[in-house]
Amino acid sequence: MARSIPSIPQFFRNVRRTTEILSILSKYGLADWLSRTNIEFVKDRLQSPDGECIARTSKSARIRLALTELGPTFIKVGQLLSTRADLVGVELADELAKLQANTPEDSFEKIREVVESELEMSLEDAFAHFERRPIASASIGQVHRARTLDGNEVVVKVRHPGIERVIETDMDILMELAKLAERLEDFRQYQPTAVVKELARTLKRELDFSREHRNLMQFRSLFRKQKRLVIPKPYPKLSTEKVLTMTCLDGVKLNDLKNSTEEFDDLEDFARRGAKIYLDMIFVHGFYHADPHPGNIVIMDGNVIGLLDFGMVGRISERTREDIEGMLMAIVNHDVPLLVMFVERIGNCPVDLDTSGLSTDIADFVGQYATQQANDFDMARALRDFMSIVRRYRVTLPSEVSLLIKVLVTLEGTGQLLAPNFSLLEIMRPHQRLMMVRRMSPTRQIRKARTFYMQLEQLAERMPQRLGNILEQIQSGKFDVHLDHRRLGPSVNRLVLGMITSALFLGSSLMLSYKVPPVWFPERGPLGFQDLSVLGILGCFASLMIGARLLWAIRSSGNLDQ
């Protein structure tokens, strides 16, 4: 039966792109090998598109350069992986955070076509003015200044034509690579297929500008009483899945402060107010702007804070928020066992987790940071050290927790850009008191009791039926118990191979004993050998070789099936 087209592996359905990806990866793999050799005259031959000698850079930098050369999809994937220090490590996560997509801008004619097709009207009927040149071009889309018919200055974010097909192709290829990595013991613990699926979902959400439109509306509703915070106002009639129109925030971005001629008063107060707003988003609302780097924060007239780019937002469930609050209180109270319990509860721990070693490292971590004064406390370093401990013991955190840690690290770095003495921990202290009050509040206890009662009621309703089904299966002899034998594969393989080797040796010995033809030395030969069975000799030699291979595998704890 002929196989359907969707069942054909993506490696063959997208031959050209796959070949391009493998070629780039091979180049950077060769550079990685050259970096460990002393062949100096060859190292300068391999260069990135920017002319950088990639064999003379660090491994993390080579990965960043490879993703940059692979294009917008892989740049976006790298930016998303920069939030997963528990998977890729702190050093690589910091390097991936530097990824910037210098995507070539689309022609004005293509942008016009997209806007008119989405809004179902001509560009002149939709806007009084629309600038031809974009002010920015990122991996997903590009941004143009414009003016509405009623005279409001706006920016229009337009998705690159055909970008969804490019991303879909690249993610299909990544999924095939993840399936290959799933077969390797060293990568299986990181669940590469699950990670790629999560990345694909995130990219799909970012492709949909209507989701960013809803984020803007929700943030404006939550912070409508904040007088010194401005969130762009979206225009529903001028926005679709591929086009997003919102108010233009006039001001100076934090990353442009050095080049700005304007003077701003009390930047430390600006940093503290901004951090407090973010902590309210996280610990009060559980819904926060997830990309607080200096390019997304604007200083407006009157030291008003403006926030840009709501394509990436974070959400924290109440249960996760309580766990994170519990971890913070455990650190403050020097309660190592409680902190270890929360790590094991939040994270996905390996079966062979070294709990004793984890407790020791966390005790050292708490001893190092819990006694520091707020003014001297480096939260970014503390969070990085914590992520290093988590990765060392192969504990993977939920994506929402990893993203939150990344946001806190970025937030402290942005605050210190404005005020060198900025301390995020000092601003978090009032929230610690609020945490205790909120956890012990009667309203919360009543809500938890109501939830527990509903779950108990649901369990009580289902239990009799489930027990009845089990008893019926036992009575009819259809009750099955499914056991998952973990890590028995190599042992079973060795056992089977040992039995085959023994049988082969025994059979070959019998052939030698009964002089099964064809034979060597029909007449008396060297050392007295005579009538040696050729098949017996070959069988004995093969069994000895396989036995030696088996002993080597057992000695080195290798897996014979890999």
CA distances to 154, 230, 270, 465 from 304, in Å = 19, 7, 8, 60
Query: For 385-420, what is the HEC assignment?
Result: HHHHHHHHCCCECCHHHHHHHHHHHHHHHHHHHHCC
For range 191-202, the mean pLDDT: 82
* Cβ-based neighbours of 219, under 8 Å, separated by 6 or more: 231, 287, 289, 307, 310
Instruction: Pick 103-167+205-248's CATH classification: 3.50.4, 3.10.20, 3.30.200, 3.30.160.
Output: 3.30.200
Higher pLDDT, 187 or 237: 237
**Phi, psi of 16, deg, nearest 5:** -65, -50
Note the pLDDT of residue 232.
93
Largest CA distance in the chain: 112
Quick check: 322 pLDDT over 70?
A: yes
Better pLDDT: 390 or 48: 390
Angle at 80 between CA 78 and CA 86, to 5 degrees: 95
Residues 6+ apart with CB under 8 A from 90: 384, 387, 388, 391
Q: Write out pLDDT tens, residues 407-433.
A: 888 888 888 888 888 888 778 777 666
Spans of all domains in the chain: 5-101, 103-167+205-248, 253-440, 489-555
Lowest mean pLDDT among 142-156, 178-192, 304-318, 454-468: 178-192
What is the per-residue pLDDT for 156? Answer: 95
Three-class DSSP labels, 119-144: HCCCHHHHEEEECCCCCEECCCEEEE
- Which is it for the CA torsion 61, 64, 65, 66, positive or negative? positive
Q: How far is CA 30 from CA 26, 36, 45, 173, 223, in A?
A: 6, 10, 11, 21, 52
- Which is nearest to 560 in space by CA: 509, 480, 501? 501
Banded model confidence at residue 513, pLDDT cuts 50, 70, 90: confident
User: Of 183-192, 214-223, 490-499, which has the strongest mean pLDDT?
Assistant: 214-223
At residue 390, does pLDDT exceed 80?
A: yes
Report the percent of the chain where pLDDT is more than 70. Answer: 84
Q: In terms of pLDDT, which residue wins out, 162 or 83?
A: 162
Q: What is the CA radius of gyration of the chain?
A: 31
Q: How confident is the model at residue 145 (pLDDT cuts 50, 70, 90)?
A: very high
The pLDDT of residue 60 is 83
pLDDT, mean over the chain? 81
Q: What is the pLDDT of residue 520?
A: 74
